[in-house]
Amino acid sequence: MHPVRSAIVVGGGTMGLASAWALARDGVAVTVLERFSHVHDRGSHGGLTRVIRQAYHEGESYVPLVQQADRMWMELGQRSGTTLLVRTGLLELGPADDPDFRRSIAACEQHGVAAQLWDSSELSRRWPFTVPSHWGACFTPSGGMLRVGPCFDALRSEAQAAGAAFHYGAHVREIHKRDRVGVVLDDGRTLHADAIVVTAGAWLPELLPALLPGRLQRLRRVLTWWSPPAERIDMLAQLPVWAAFDPAGFFYGFPWSDEGTTGLKLACHTTREPDAADTPIDPESVDRELHESDLAPLRRFVSERFPAATGTLAAHRVCLYTTTPSWHFLVDRDPDDARVVVAGGFSGHGFKFAPAIGTLVSDLVRDHGRAAPPAFARTRHLEG
């Protein structure tokens, strides 16, 4: 195969921007085609902020990857003169015997991530959470939040400086795999390149239906912002990013801030018992209205565990997860055509890794002999 000199990136969201950034840096002429705009609320990156954490209950093997991404975010922030990562620390809390909570602590121990372990009384002394006596907390100072808009701006401006071209309102209808690979746009134009990177987020199954038939699900998630009484704002603005392994589900939140939307951001990643949030949706017709059923688990959590957060609803956003069966990522080549590289299925926890994933995508595009990491291989997602 010839060296790869040009690539088209389909989807200019989180992983598309990061891939374009890495490819352009590595000398590839990149064209990014994005259906909507630079930063939008219709895919998976809406909602202004994202958690970054090294206490990784999803698997300790993610820790070196998040550490690599953390360094890259920091360096990118320094070069762009913008704060991308706000290191608030991460507070995790839950029953001491909760398997995910234990995995999180084990991931820290395994990788030497600095962590302080507190019992329930120490937790309640430090932060306004009300928990039973058998709960504990793990505080990792390395955790924090990423600012989505500034992260996107910084990736795009470095990619542009390295020659990448960005086209918005460019809807790709089809990936074209013949003697040359290319894409067919909505307006009928066909564009070719040496390689195609598909980072279409929730729309991946429509673009490559044979990749993992029936294995990628799109789920609706709601982010909320709350206005607590004014006298509590200073205290809530000092909070670390936090996450709770509650028996009802995995809840998380951010300090009070005026990052785009003023308020205390609060959400639920997964509930223990199946609920409406587990019903697959179609990204074209997803319900973006807010319903009382969206708020009920959050209200319950706040009243039982975090009464200081009680307030009036200020805003909400609907955002999409694209999940694999294991909730681990997919970064691999299309088995039909090795010139097509796919990064998707980020299962609600991919943002923090973006610069590291972009680097991996660039390596796969440029080095035909390189295999995808087994942890993210397509075949893994066919199992079970």
Ligand X SMILES: Cc1cc2nc3c(=O)[nH]c(=O)nc-3n(C[C@H](O)[C@H](O)[C@H](O)COP(=O)(O)OP(=O)(O)OC[C@H]3O[C@@H](n4cnc5c(N)ncnc54)[C@H](O)[C@@H]3O)c2cc1C
User: Residues in the site for ligand X, rule: CB under 6 A?
Assistant: 10-16, 33-36, 43-45, 47, 50-51, 170-172, 199-201, 203, 207, 221, 223, 319-321, 344, 346, 348-352
- Residue among 120 and 223 whose Cβ is closer to ligand X: 223
Q: Among candidates 100, 104, 131, which has minimal Cα distance to 117?
A: 104
Closest CB to ligand X belongs to which residue? 13
- Residue among 147 and 380 whose Cβ is closer to ligand X: 147
End-to-end, the C-alpha distance of the chain in Å comes to 34
Q: Least distance (Å) from ligand X to the CB of residue 122?
A: 26
Q: Least distance (Å) from ligand X to the CB of residue 351?
A: 3
What is the DSSP code (8-state) at residue 35? Answer: S
DSSP string spanning 197-235? EE--GGGHHHH-TTTSTTT-EEEEEEEEEEE--HHHHHH
- Residue among 58 and 363 whose Cβ is closer to ligand X: 58
Q: Among candidates 283, 343, 330, which has minimal Cα distance to 43?
A: 283
- Residue among 171 and 180 whose Cβ is closer to ligand X: 171
Question: Is residue 234 exposed (0-12), middle (13-18) or buried (19+ Cβ within 10 Å)?
Answer: exposed
Q: Least distance (Å) from ligand X to the CB of residue 15?
A: 4
Q: Least distance (Å) from ligand X to the CB of residue 356?
A: 11
- Residue among 138 and 343 whose Cβ is closer to ligand X: 343
- The alpha carbon of residue 73 and the mean position of all alpha carbons in its chain are separated, in whole angstroms, by 14
- Residue among 120 and 350 whose Cβ is closer to ligand X: 350
Q: Among candidates 201, 310, 293, which has minimal Cα distance to 253?
A: 310
- Residue among 34 and 120 whose Cβ is closer to ligand X: 34
**Helix or strand (DSSP H, E) at 107:** helix 99-111
φ and ψ at 21, to 5 degrees? -60, -50
Q: Least distance (Å) from ligand X to the CB of residue 163?
A: 20
Q: Least distance (Å) from ligand X to the CB of residue 129?
A: 19
Q: Give the angle 36-40-43 at the CA atoms, nearest 5°.
A: 85
Q: Least distance (Å) from ligand X to the CB of residue 120?
A: 25
Phi-psi region of 303 (alpha: psi -120 to 50; beta: other; left: phi over 0): alpha
Q: Among candidates 307, 305, 272, 265, which has minimal Cα distance to 137?
A: 305
Roughly what angle, to the nearest 10 degrees, separates helices 354-366 and 148-161?
30
Q: Least distance (Å) from ligand X to the CB of residue 37?
A: 8
- Residue among 121 and 293 whose Cβ is closer to ligand X: 293
**Helix or strand (DSSP H, E) at 193:** strand 190-193
- Name the amino acid, one letter, at 73: W
- Residue among 47 and 311 whose Cβ is closer to ligand X: 47
Q: Least distance (Å) from ligand X to the CB of residue 256?
A: 17
How far apart are the C-alpha atoms of 350 and 334, rounded to whole Å? Answer: 20
Radius of gyration of the chain (CA): 21
